[in-house]
Amino acid sequence: MGGTVDSYLTYYLAWIFFSYALERKALLVGLVVLLVLRRFIPRPGALFRLLGRARSLRSQVELNRANITARRDLAVIYLEGLRARAALPLIEEGLALAPDDPELLYLFGLALHRVGRHEAALAPLVRAVELDPRVRYGLPYVVAGDALAALKRWDGALDAYEHYLADNSSDVSGYTRIARAHARTGDQVAAREALREGIRTWGLLPSSMKRRQFGRYLAAQWARASVLHEPGAISVALALLALGLAALWQSYAPVSRWISESSVTPGLIGLASEQRALVDGFQRCGSQSTGNFAGHYVVVPESIAIPIPANASDWERKTIAENAAFVSEQYGDFEIRSDRIVSGTRLIQEFCLTRVVQRTPTILLAEAVWHEDVGDPGDASLIRIRLERHGSLTAFQLAPGETGSRAIQLKRE
C-alpha cells in the first residue's frame, strides 16, 4: 500500500499523457498491454529501489559476509522488483547464518513460490509461523494459500486463507481469496457470501484504511464478475469499461490541443516531480530535528476510542472493536526520536523527517517519509505531520489536507 508514485496507476497515467503529447491515439492500445503485463512489471517505486538502494546493499553484502540484515533488505528489494531468482541465494545465505529466523523463512517461502517451486515453499512458511505466529502479520498463511492454490489443492488453500483472516478480519483481499477457493471447490454459495462479507467490511473501515484498501475493494467487485460470473456485475464492468474508453476518446482532441498549446506538459512534469520528491525525501530522511518533542509517550485512550452506535449489530461491534485494537497497536510504544517518529506494537510504522515547515516551542509541522511497516521497505509515502503541545499533552496528527488526519493525544512518560 504506498503513495501514487509506487502505484501502477503511474504507468497508466504516464502512458495516457505520452499519447496526448505525441497526438497518437493508437498509443492508447498500450494501456491494454500494460494491464496484461502488470504481473511482470515491477511497481515504479520498486524500480527506484532496484536502481538506488540495492547498489548500497550489494556493497554491504560483499564487504560483510555475516550481515544478515543487508541480505534480507536486498532480498526484499529484489522480490519487489520481481527478481525472485536473484533473491533466493541471499535468503539462503542468511538462513545459513540464522536458520530459525522467521522473517527469512517467510521470505524464503515467498521467493520459492514466486519462482514456481510451490511445494518447496510450504515447509519454510509453516516453520515461520511455528516460530512466530505474528511474523509479517500472518502473511505466510497468504503465501502458503497461494502456493497451494497453484498446486490445485483448494481445500488446503482455503484452510490457509481462513487462518490468515482469523487475525486479519479487516483485510478485504482475504475474503476475495477465500471466495476464489470456495468457487474452485464448487461451493458458489460460500464464495458469494465471502465476497459480500469482504465488500461489507470495506464499508465499515476508517477512511484511512479505506484509502489503502481501495484497490482490494475493486478486486472484490471484479471477482463478482470473474469468479461468480454474476450477470449484473459483468454488465456493470463492461459498462464502466465502455464509458472509460469513450471518455478517453472524446477528450482526446481537446486535451491534445491544450497540451500542444502549452509550453510544458504539466501532467508529465507532475508525475516526474512526485517521483523526484520521493527519491529526494529518501536522501534527506533523518536530516531534520524533532527538537524538544523527543521522548517516549503513551497514547491517551480516549483519543483513539471509536464510538459504537446504540443500534450496531454484533458483527459491526466486533469490526469496530477490531479497528480500535488496530489503531491502538499502530500507535502503541510511541517514541519521538531526534530525527523521526516510530510507533507500533506489532507492525512498526516510521515517520522520518525530511523537511521542517514550522517549528516553535509548542508546534512542529514537517514533511516526512512514512513507512507503514519499516520491515517492508517497499511501502513508503511522502506525508506531512503535525505535533502540537497543550500543557502536559501533545497532539500528533497527519497535517490538515492529508487523508485520515485524526489527532492522537499523547502523554510523555
Residues 85 and 186 reside in one and the same domain = yes
Question: Region 248-275: what's the mean pLDDT?
Answer: 53
Read off the pLDDT of residues 65-113 as tens digits, 9 standing for 90 and up. Answer: 788 888 898 898 888 888 899 999 999 999 999 999 999 999 999 999 9
Per-residue pLDDT tens digits for 306-322: 777 778 788 878 877 88
Grid look-up 510450504 returns 122
pLDDT at 146: 96
> Hey, is 180 helix, strand or coil?
helix
Per-residue pLDDT at 20: 58
Q: Domain check: are 62 and 200 in the same one? A: yes
Query: Of 237, 257, 273, which marks where a domain is finished?
Result: 237
Domain that holds residue 10: 4-237
Phi and psi at residue 133, to the nearest 5°: -60, -20
Higher pLDDT, 348 or 63: 348
> Is 301 a member of any domain?
yes
* Same domain for 164 and 102: yes
Express each pLDDT in 170-211 by its tens digit: 999 999 999 999 999 999 999 999 999 999 999 999 888 888
Contacts of residue 1, defined as CB under 8 A and 6 or more positions apart, other chains included, come to: 212, 213, 372, 379
The structural domain count of the chain equals 2
Name 323's Cβ contacts closer than 8 Å, sequence gap at least 6.
Answer: 170, 204, 205, 206, 209, 306
CB 52 within 8 A of CB 18: no
Half-sphere exposure of 175 (CA within 13 A, CB side): 26
Q: Is residue 280 part of a domain?
A: no
Q: Is residue 245 part of a domain?
A: no
Residue 159 lies in a domain: yes
Here the cell at position 286 is 533523518
As a whole number of angstroms, the distance between CA 347 and CA 34 comes to: 33
Judge whether residue 262 has pLDDT over 60: no
CA distance 379 to 369: 10
Q: Which helix (H) or strand (E) holds 294?
A: none
C-alpha cell at 261: 498549446
Between 254 and 77, whose confidence is greater? 77
pLDDT one-digit tens code per residue, 109-136: 999 999 999 999 999 999 999 999 889 9
Whether 225 and 304 share a structural domain: no
Q: Is residue 279 part of a domain?
A: no
106: cell is 517467510
Say yes or no: 209 and 327 in one domain.
no
386 forms beta bridges with 365, 397
Residue 254: what pLDDT? 64
Same domain, 326 and 223: no
Whole-angstrom distance, CA of residue 302 vs CA of residue 407: 11
Write out the three cell numbers for 7: 502505484
Q: Which of 237, 272, 293 represents a domain boundary (last residue)?
A: 237
Output the pLDDT for position 325: 82
User: What distance, in Å, lies between the first and last C-alpha atoms of the chain?
Assistant: 32
The pTM score is: 0.55
Are 290 and 175 in the same domain?
A: no
CATH number, domain containing residue 205? 1.25.40.10
Give the Cβ contact number of residue 60 at 10 Å. 14
Chain mean pLDDT for the chain? 81
Q: What is the pLDDT of residue 263?
A: 38
In a domain, 231, yes or no: yes
pLDDT at 226 over 60: yes
Do 11 and 34 meet the contact criterion of CB atoms below 8 Å apart? yes
Please check whether residues 91 and 225 belong to one and the same domain. yes
Identify the H or E element spanning 411. Answer: strand 408-412
Residues 62 and 133 in one domain: yes
The region of weakest confidence among 28-32, 72-76, 376-380 is 28-32
Within a domain: residue 264? no
State the alpha helices, DSSP H only, in 185-304: 188-204, 207-212, 214-226, 231-261, 266-284
In a domain, 99, yes or no: yes
User: H/E/C letters for each residue in 342-402?
Assistant: EECCCCCEEEEEEEEEEECCCEEEEEEEEECCCCCCCCEEEEEEEEEEECCEEEEEECCCC
**Are both 51 and 193 inside the same structural domain?**
yes
Together in a domain, 210 and 350: no
Closest to 413 measured CA to CA, from 300, 296, 301, 334: 296
Q: Could you tell me if 16 and 116 lie in one domain?
A: yes
C-beta atoms surrounding 66 within 10 Å:
10
> Which residues are bridge partners to 295 per DSSP?
336
